[in-house]
Amino acid sequence: MKIKGKVVKGKGVGKTLGYPTANLNCVVDLSGVFTCRVFIDDEYFNGVAIFANKANPEIHILDFGQNIMGTILEVDVLGKISEVQKCKDQAALIRKIKEDIKKAIKYFSV
For the segment 4-43, what is each residue's pLDDT rounded down to a tens digit? Answer: 999 999 888 888 999 999 999 998 888 999 999 999 988 9
CATH number, span 2-109: 2.40.30.30
Percent over 70 (pLDDT), the chain? 100
What residues does each domain of the chain span? Answer: 2-109
SS3 80: strand
Backbone angles phi, psi at 104, to 5 degrees: -65, -45
Strand partners, 24: 7
Q: What is the pLDDT of residue 53?
A: 76
